[in-house]
């Protein structure tokens, strides 16, 4: 059994304030006995304009947000999956990156968001062009850890089941899916997509989410969830700052994968 936490917050454009909130929630998670905590997409900064986040983009391995993560992991004695933070990319753009820190504060892995959210949402009258300021990563990342092999992903990636299948085939038994899902698409698709990724791969899903209204006027869906490999939602918070906690039973994953071997029945 490994107790893990997902943090939910409503990040704004003040980095220090967002990190303070994260730190408070991490302390709660540590207090609850968690050995690992997951943060949402854009936990450190949600700006007024899309390109604002370029100003806080860091080079991999150094910078105030990464320093905070390393120190928070050490202080709270927890491994962290830092949902997403901007890392410097090329041509004046950044990567949306998810980093895993171990409890000693060392960075163990970096995943760069592969699928960029360039969509128009008719129902909400919203237009997103993530590729205007972000550049996509090319590499699938799985990280062996105490809780199992962790597959890293970010938000819109959730709609691409082939990424999760590839991670599952590479051994992943837990998917991290941090998000800032739109309220409109979240209401329609969030839960069904998350549970599908869990069920079809017999894997745990930890989805730490942003909620509420951000400085750019956009509203995000919240509903952070931890889902077991049978598709049951074992912890969920609709709205508000908070920490959801679950005990990950790694035996359950092993038993399901043995007795219900869908991953071995693939023909393609």
Ligand X SMILES: O=C(O)CNC(=O)[C@H](CS)NC(=O)CCC(=O)C(=O)O
Q: Which residue, 8 or 173, has its beta carbon nearer to ligand X?
A: 8
**DSSP state letters, 119-179:** EEETTTTEEEEGGGTB-------EEEETTEEEEE--GGGGG-HHHHHHHHHTT--EEE--B
List 34, 134, 155, 183, catalytic entry:
155
Catalytic option among 113, 130, 134, 183: 113
Burial class (CB in 10 A: 0-12, 13-18, 19+), 261: exposed
Determine the interface stretch with ligand X among 12-20, 29-37, 151-159, 198-206 (rule: CB under 6 A): 151-159
> What CA–CA distance (Å, rounded) separates 153 from 134?
15
Nearer to ligand X, 67 or 118 (CB): 118
Q: How far is the CB of 223 from ligand X (least distance, A)?
A: 12
What character string, x for contact with ligand X (CB under 6 A) and - otherwise, covers 161-200? -------------------xxx--x---------------
Instruction: Figure out which of the listed residues 156, 164, 204, 211 binds ligand X, where binding follows CB under 6 A.
Output: 156
Q: Is 34 a catalytic residue?
A: no
Rg (CA), the chain: 17
Tell me which stretch binds ligand X (CB under 6 A): 28-36, 41-49, 199-207, 235-243.
41-49
Residue from 10, 28, 34, 41 carrying the catalytic annotation: 41
Which SS3 state, helix, strand or coil, does residue 224 take? strand
Is-catalytic flag, 155?
A: yes
Residue number with CB closer to ligand X (53 or 257): 53
DSSP character for 41? T
Alpha carbon distance 112, 240 (integer Å): 28
Q: Which stretch binds ligand X (CB under 6 A): 6-14, 38-46, 200-208, 253-261?
A: 38-46
CA distance 250 to 257: 11
Binding mask of the shown chain, residues 123 to 142, with x at each position contacting ligand X by CB under 6 A: -----x-x------------
Enclosing H/E stretch for 193: helix 191-201
Q: Which residues contact 37 (CB under 8 A, 6 or more apart)?
A: 4, 5, 6, 7, 26, 29, 30, 76, 78, 79, 80, 81, 243
Residue 42 within binding range of ligand X, rule CB under 6 A = yes
Residue selected from 38, 95, 111, 117 as contacting ligand X according to rule CB under 6 A: 117
Residues in the site for ligand X, rule: CB under 6 A? 41-42, 46, 117, 128, 130, 155-156, 159, 180-182, 185, 218
């Amino acid at each position: 059994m490994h107790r893990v936490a997902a943090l939910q917050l409503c990040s704004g454009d003040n980095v220090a304030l967002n990190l303070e909130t994260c730190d408070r929630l991490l302390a709660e998670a540590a207090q609850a006995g968690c050995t690992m905590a997951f943060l949402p997409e854009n936990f450190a900064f949600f700006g007024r304009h899309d390109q604002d986040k370029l100003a806080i983009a860091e080079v991999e391995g150094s910078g105030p947000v990464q320093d905070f993560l390393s120190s928070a992991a050490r202080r709270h004695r927890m491994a962290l999956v830092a949902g997403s933070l901007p890392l410097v990319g090329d041509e004046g753009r950044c990567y949306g990156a998810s980093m895993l820190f171990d409890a000693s504060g060392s960075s163990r892995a970096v995943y760069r968001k592969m699928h960029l959210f360039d969509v128009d949402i008719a129902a909400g009258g919203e237009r997103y062009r993530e590729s205007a300021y972000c550049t996509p990563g090319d590499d699938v990342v799985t990280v062996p850890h105490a809780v199992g092999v962790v597959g890293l992903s970010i938000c819109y990636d959730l709609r691409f089941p082939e990424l999760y299948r590839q991670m599952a085939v590479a051994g992943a038994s837990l998917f991290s899916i941090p998000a800032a899902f739109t309220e409109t698409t979240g209401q329609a698709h969030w839960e069904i997509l998350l549970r599908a990724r869990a069920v079809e791969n017999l894997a745990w899903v930890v989805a730490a989410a942003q909620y509420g209204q951000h400085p750019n006027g956009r509203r995000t869906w919240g509903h952070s969830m931890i889902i077991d490999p049978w598709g049951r939602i074992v912890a969920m918070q609709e709205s508000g700052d908070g920490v959801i906690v679950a005990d990950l039973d790694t035996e359950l994953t092993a038993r399901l994968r043995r007795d219900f071997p869908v991953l071995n029945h693939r023909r393609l």
